[in-house]
Structure 1
Amino acid sequence: MSQQYIIICYSTSQMLRADSLLKAMDVETDLIPTPSEHGTICSTAIAIGEKDKGKAEKILAEGNFAVKGIFPHKTRKLSGLMESLKNCVISQTFKDIMKKVESGEDLTKDEITYLLKVEGESELKALFETADRMRKEIVGDIVEVRAAIEFSNYCNKSCHYCGIRNGCTVPTRYRMTEDEIMEGVHELHRVGIKTVVLQSGEDDYYTLEVLIKLIKRIKRETKMGITLSVGERSYEEYKALKEAGANNYLLKIETTNPDIFKFIHPDDDLEYRRQCAQWLKELGYVNASGNMIGLPGQRAEDIAEDILFYKEMGIHMIGIGPFIPAAGTPFEKYPQGSVEMTLKAVAVTRLVCKNVFIPATTALASVDPDGQKKALQAGANSLMLISTPPKYRSNYQIYSNKNMIDLDSAVKAIHDAGRKLPKYLKLDNNQQEE
């Protein structure tokens, strides 16, 4: 494989302009999360092949683009990994895969599937510890903390697993006003949270104009980062929301298996979901996706395909949680997804995608009191608080018995996992790291 290079720009707008120009001049490019040694993962770099390096340099110089630089895209290795595993009771196949991880080689679908199927205590321990080491070398020990405001539980979709689906009898439907949302935003800003996640069902009440007005107000009053999670939209809408100030977009793929996707999403189309992810990438969003573990009919091979999708799409943030049935839905009697398989998926995703943010999801905390701690010790590096106002939050039940993660429980999970709190959090004395 020939050497790849990455172009690091000073801003997202510069990156998009440079990428557009390079493509117009027949330079093959890809947009990927910025390697941690060159900046934050939650930004995007332009990847090019060795054959196009000279041409790209000339084009950017002639276009008067000021870039931070064009750097070799180094393979992330784990030096000394095999030495650390020498006393472990592991199979030869496991050893061979770990040798590839040590040298930074890409894993095949069969190898990813093998890791997802490991069951022995020794191999599980080795898998989680290797993923945790990869996490430490790439993003360090500080756990990123974000917070979600679930501002509407109306939805025009009928996803079979979802507790706020169209037609589902939820306790009470609600929509928050702009002022109510802003009250929550200001409270998060007060405790130091840097990014607010605005999440809802696919609710047409919140038009493009309404969302743009809200985004601009948040930026004007707090300058916080904004993650939107409001479902499938058109390219033009995504573009307008980005131009208004949205930074990140969360649109989970849920599964890349076409048959399972159709089974769980009777009124959605997998190819359109993929197209949305591509649009978000092209528009320069910090692109977030994720899947559910334990969906009806799902195999380890399907999860392996999901992981390869994240890598190929250049996803920045990947949320992986167990399927949890929701009362009143067509899937309410299906079995819950496995915590162990979820943790394996987190670990393998870290080893394959490497340079990404992986949250220890709320869903894990909802089925295992120590679920978030376990995920943080298996490759995850972020947490999301549930900051929906108390009078509404019990009605936003995508799945039943949801754990309402607050700042105290997040701090506890971080402490218990032996990880570090971000310095931007403004905590009281009882919450401070010892």
Structure 2
Amino acid sequence: MRDLARMTRAELAEFIRDGGGADYAELMREADRLRHLSYDNEVYTRGLIEFTNFCKNDCLYCGIRRSNPYAERYRLTQRQILECCSLGWELGYRTFVLQGGEDPYFTDERIERIVYSIRSTHPDCAVTLSIGERSRESYQRFYNAGAQRYLLRHETANDEHYHKLHPAAMSPENRKRCLWDLRDIGYQVGAGFMVGSPFQTPEYLADDLLFLQELQPHMVGIGPFIPQKDTPFGTFPSGTVEQTLLLLAMLRMLLPTALLPATTAVGTLDPLGREKALKAGANVVMPNLSPTDVRKKYLLYDNKICTGDEAAECRFCIQGRVERAGFRLTVSRGDHKEWRMQHDAIGS
């Protein structure tokens, strides 16, 4: 098995273009071994709360983009968010992920109050935010309020590709600045990208892998691109589960202790997609805690699964899937191990 960490951009691109070639089977075995070495057969669970689908941005691939006139907008109140967390706590979740569009209504003060309220009610839980690009000062305020994790997909590390996916008002430089700020503050940082997005090339994917090696995030979320019919990319083909699994295994090789989700998107394209992702090196699942009456409104892409399930259904469905795949769903915060050791050492 070739050492991916020593490959050049051209070599990584060729490896991706060949689908791993003769090394594919060994890559999958090694990814599984490395996941087991760091996390045994444990799979961490996070309770996802999609609390707003308003967004000021106009990303060309996203179903909740600002200019989509067909998106049925909603916002959860702080009370509704806390109710989701209380239900999640009863179901065994010890991490809550607040995900939403970049909604100006949710000011720094509102986010601070929500984070503080969750941590006050459930002091042993972890709060993860996934609310887009903010200032360093904002990120520091959220961290001080009790948020310790932040998910911000970089989407693509190649500047040319980034501008093909986003409006002119957005910049790859600011996206990356946010990620470095989050790392510097002390968050467990999650980055990531879409696999098979419009205009993507193996060279662009190699750029993603090289950027992630530099950033050294604690979590990397990747999933296949799936079009949403009311966006400019609505007629583009989806990415593939096969290429997503290849890149998951490559990420496990390049970032052996990273937290890698088996995303809903792979489950949308393949009924066994999440199980396959776990066997390719993933070790996180994120069932949905959002109220069922808003699930179908948070449609970043078409045909998303589990939009009609109650929270308990999602919880026990994913547990069954994880166990049938040969893994064990754990009831814990599921911190990145190296981050946990560092923060234990400084008493935080």
With normalisation by structure 1, the TM-score equals 0.72
Counterpart CA distance in 1 for 2:48 and 2:138 is: 21
Identify the residue that residue 418 of structure 1 maps to in structure 2.
326
**Aligned AA for 2:328?**
K
- Map of 1:268-279 to 2, 5 A cutoff? 268-279=170-181
Q: Secondary structure at the match of 2:227?
A: coil
Counterpart CA distance in 1 for 2:136 and 2:102 is: 16
Counterpart CA distance in 2 for 1:138 and 1:390 is: 35
Shift of 1:419: 1.0
Counterpart CA distance in 2 for 1:130 and 1:109 is: 21
Shift of 1:372: 0.5
Q: Secondary structure at the match of 1:309?
A: helix
Q: Secondary structure at the match of 1:297?
A: coil
How many residues are matched?
325
**Aligned AA for 2:70?**
V
- Map of 1:8-47 to 2, 5 A cutoff? none
Identify the residue that residue 115 of structure 2 maps to in structure 1.
215
CA RMSD after TM alignment: 1.7
Q: Secondary structure at the match of 2:223?
A: strand
**Aligned AA for 1:259?**
E
Match of 2:47 among 125, 147, 171: 147
Counterpart CA distance in 2 for 1:183 and 1:124 is: 45
Identify the residue that residue 241 of structure 1 maps to in structure 2.
142
Give 5+ residue unaligned stretches, structure 2.
308-313, 334-348
Q: Does 1:389 align with 2:297?
A: no
Contact 1:112 1:348 in 2 (8 A): no
Match of 1:260 among 152, 156, 161: 161
Q: Does 1:361 align with 2:263?
A: yes
Q: Percent identity?
A: 37
Counterpart CA distance in 1 for 2:102 and 2:20 is: 42
Contact 2:19 2:243 in 1 (8 A): no
Match of 1:178 among 39, 53, 78: 78
Identify the residue that residue 158 of structure 1 maps to in structure 2.
58
Contact 2:20 2:246 in 1 (8 A): no
Q: Secondary structure at the match of 1:231?
A: coil
Counterpart CA distance in 1 for 2:20 and 2:176 is: 35
Cα distance per residue 1:402-423 (max 9 Å; x no partner): 1128213311321232111214
- Map of 1:10-409 to 2, 5 A cutoff? 95=1, 97=2, 100=3, 106-119=6-19, 123-223=23-123, 224-266=125-167, 267-404=169-306, 406-409=314-317
Shift of 1:127: 1.9
Q: Does 1 or 2 have the higher relative contact order (CA < 8 Å, sep 6+)?
A: 2
Shift of 1:251: 0.6
Contact 2:260 2:284 in 1 (8 A): yes
Contact 1:160 1:264 in 2 (8 A): yes
Change in Cα spacing, 1:183 to 1:155, as seen in structure 2 (3 Å) is: same
Counterpart CA distance in 1 for 2:250 and 2:48 is: 26
Shift of 1:391: 0.5
Shift of 1:119: 4.0
Q: Secondary structure at the match of 2:286?
A: strand
Shift of 1:270: 0.2
Contact 2:61 2:165 in 1 (8 A): yes
Counterpart CA distance in 2 for 1:265 and 1:248 is: 25
Q: Is 228-237 or 409-418 further displaced after alignment?
A: 409-418
Identify the residue that residue 61 of structure 1 maps to in structure 2.
none
**Aligned AA for 1:272?**
N
Give 5+ residue unaligned stretches, structure 1.
1-94, 426-434
Contact 1:359 1:382 in 2 (8 A): yes
Shift of 1:122: 5.9
Change in Cα spacing, 1:192 to 1:269, as seen in structure 2 (3 Å) is: same
Cα distance per residue 1:164-208 (max 9 Å; x no partner): 000113352101111011100101111121110001100000111
Change in Cα spacing, 1:159 to 1:220, as seen in structure 2 (3 Å) is: same
Identify the residue that residue 343 of structure 2 maps to in structure 1.
none
Counterpart CA distance in 1 for 2:331 and 2:286 is: 16
Shift of 1:259: 1.4
Contact 1:163 1:170 in 2 (8 A): no
Change in Cα spacing, 1:414 to 1:121, as seen in structure 2 (3 Å) is: farther
